[in-house]
Amino acid sequence: MSAARLVGRRGFLEGSLAAAAGAPLARLARPSEALRLGVVGLNGRGAELLDALRGRAEARVVALCDVDDHVLTREARRLRERNAPRPSLHTDYRTLLERADVDAVVLATPDHWHALQAIWACQAGKDVYLEAPATHVFAEAQPLVAAARKHGRRVHCAHAARSSPALLEALAWLQAGNLGALELARVLCHEPQPPIGKVSGNQKLPESVDYDLWCGPAPLRPLRRARLHHDWRWNWATGDGALGAGVHGLDVARWALGLDEWPASVTSLGLRAGEPDDGETPNTQLLFYAWEPAPILVEVRGLPRDRAAQAGDWAAAMDELLGLRTGVVLHCAGGTLRIERDARAVACDPEGREIRRWEGAGDPLAAWIEVLQGRREEDPAAGIEAAARSSALVQMGNASQRLARATGKDELVEAVKSSSLLGEATARLLAHLEANAIDLAATPIALGPCLVLDRAQGCFQDPPAANALLAGSFREPFVLPRVV
């Protein structure tokens, strides 16, 4: 099936939103009722979300689900130790959805499960809180949005910036023209990515894991890395790499620029630098999204500032730019707005002097619960449509990177010189790799094609391989439903 067929002639989201106009909204719980939640995916982020729900009178965890029985029983025991009511336990998510006593689900599973589990929840009449990115494959977005609208479910993605009072005020101030016209949105994702190790063959799976359910829509392949959990994010079949974590910055940049259409084109270059390991996604990457009047430039760095720092605490030794490691810098004619994660924004004049600042973190989980309780008005800009658009940028950028070819340093510099922004960022990236003693002859940078968007169709003009990546593939029976 072609990507154009997958997204429809009216484009990626427009068709589903038009078809869903007038869809009935889900019944809201009365403020006096406790929302009955099922939490799915309990290792790492899922456990953190369980902790966040602790003591909330307006929400009660009534079901837990994880394909790892060890993790499932561990978290059930932790709940009992807190004197919480005993939840039902599920290895198969589909059995949790059958329960009438579950109003909504909190999904903290690996990226490749996000959209499908959210769609199934909507079909089962459950509202959804979803970790980002909302999708792992571009083709998942339209069915996800359509399912939420058709079944009248409130599906929110964990973009904390969207619920931050500080960022809401700061971006309103910016969009009122206080720093002049926006010229560039720079997304920084300088997060440590130490090597995950390299194994010599297939690894033994934990006996506590239902691996078929763990893989779900992804290919059922032998485990070829040291750890099943966590390190899935560096594998193309199950994760989105560092750019997947960078989706929060992409969402802020797109929000600030007021972009509701696709970029004109996207280009990526990158490599997996440093000690060879079993990861597939790049730990060093630049992406350029061409938009008018202002583009988005993404800078990913997983290595610390230099070779000497690799022997110490990487988290304390990452590169900064304009005072930020991870965040967004909005370059304007009259200065910059520097956004640090989701809790702080600082406006500076052209010389870098602070003009004004805003502080105050958002809590998207609490905001979602308040919407379901009818105690907070839902902001359409923070709904699943916005999250799906931002996630799609991740898949577009990674499509360019997955089609990239090894490129020599001189050829790379020549290829990017037509863009002063990309040329400047590439020069700094090359200096960063040199500081880390990366041998580019042995591990060359891969330069992806400039993929031009057909904005009417919501897909790439060419090549066919790029659109095949957008369409993705799904393993039976874990496939996108034909009718949501």
More confident residue, 297 or 83: 297
| Percentage above 90 pLDDT, the chain | 86
* pLDDT for res 32: 56
Superfamily of domain 165-200+230-362+385-461: Dihydrodipicolinate Reductase; domain 2 (3.30.360.10)
| pLDDT tens digits along 299-319 | 999 999 999 999 999 999 999
Summarize the confidence of residues 458-480 as an average pLDDT: 94
Place of tokens 């560092």: 242
Amino acid at 117: Q
Mean pLDDT (the chain) is 92
| Residues forming a β-bridge with 68 | 209
- Per-residue confidence (pLDDT) for residue 22, from 0 to 100: 39
- Residue 376 confidence (pLDDT) above 90: no
CA angle (246, 252, 258) in 5-degree steps: 135
pLDDT single digits (tens) 27-85: 455 555 899 999 999 999 999 999 999 888 899 999 999 999 999 999 999 999 988 88
DSSP H or E segment with residue 433 = helix 420-435
Band of residue 11 on the pLDDT scale cut at 50, 70, 90:
very low
Domain boundaries, the chain: 165-200+230-362+385-461
Strand partners, 451: 266
Mean pLDDT of 426-434: 98
3-class SS of residue 374? coil
Q: If we measure between CA atoms, which residue out of 196, 190, 256 comes closest to residue 429? A: 190
Global confidence as pTM: 0.94
* Percentage of residues in the chain having pLDDT higher than 70: 93
pLDDT at 260: 86
* Helix (H) or strand (E) segment spanning residue 279: none
pLDDT of residue 28: 52
What type of residue sits at position 370? E
Residue 3: pLDDT above 60? no
What are the tens digits of pLDDT across the range 337-374? 999 978 899 999 999 999 999 999 989 999 999 999 98
Q: How far is CA 230 from CA 43, 46, 196, 279, 307, in A?
A: 9, 12, 10, 12, 25
472 token code pair: 């993705």
Residue 10: predicted pLDDT: 37
- Is residue 460 predicted with pLDDT exceeding 80? yes
What would the pLDDT profile of 127-147 be if each residue is shown by its tens digit? 999 999 999 999 999 999 999
Residue 385 backbone class (left: φ over 0; alpha: ψ -120 to 50; beta: rest): alpha
pLDDT, average across residues 311-333? 96
**What pLDDT was estimated at residue 6?**
36
Q: What is the pLDDT of residues 245-295, one digit of tens each?
A: 999 999 999 999 998 889 999 999 999 999 999 999 999 999 999 998 899
Three-class SS of the chain: CCHHHHHCCCCCCHHHHHHCCCCCCCCCCCCCCCEEEEEECCCCHHHHHHHHHCCCCCEEEEEEECCEHHHHHHHHHHHHHCCCCCCEEECCHHHHHCCCCCCEEEECCCHHHHHHHHHHHHHCCCEEEECCCCCCCHHHHHHHHHHHHHCCCCEEECCHHHHCHHHHHHHHHHHCCCCCCEEEEEEEEECCCCCCCCCCCCCCCCCCECHHHHHCCCCCCCCCCCCCCCHHHHCCCCCCHHHHHCHHHHHHHHHHHCCCCCCCEEEEEEECCCCCCCCCCCCEEEEEEECCCCCEEEEEECCCCCCHHHHCCHHHCCCCECCECEEEEEEECCEEEEEECCCEEEEECCCCCEEEEEECCCCHHHHHHHHHCCCCCCCHHHEHHHHHHHHHHHHHHHHHHHCCEEECHHHHHHHHCCCHHHHHHHHHHHHHHHHCCCCCCCCCEEECCCEEEECCCCEECCCHHHHHHHHCCCCCCCCCCCCC
Q: What is the CA radius of gyration of the chain?
A: 22
Q: How many CA atoms lie within 13 A of 460 on its CB side?
A: 26
* Distance (Å, whole) CA 157 – CA 170: 21
pLDDT range class, residue 208, cuts 50, 70, 90: very high
SS3 category, 421: helix
Tokens coding 388 = 């799906």
Q: Out of 55-59, 125-129, 210-214, 231-235, which region has the weakest mean confidence (pLDDT)?
A: 55-59
Mean local confidence (pLDDT), 176-199: 97
**Is 11 or 331 the better-scoring residue by pLDDT?**
331
Distances (CA, A) of 224 to 195, 290, 331: 14, 37, 43
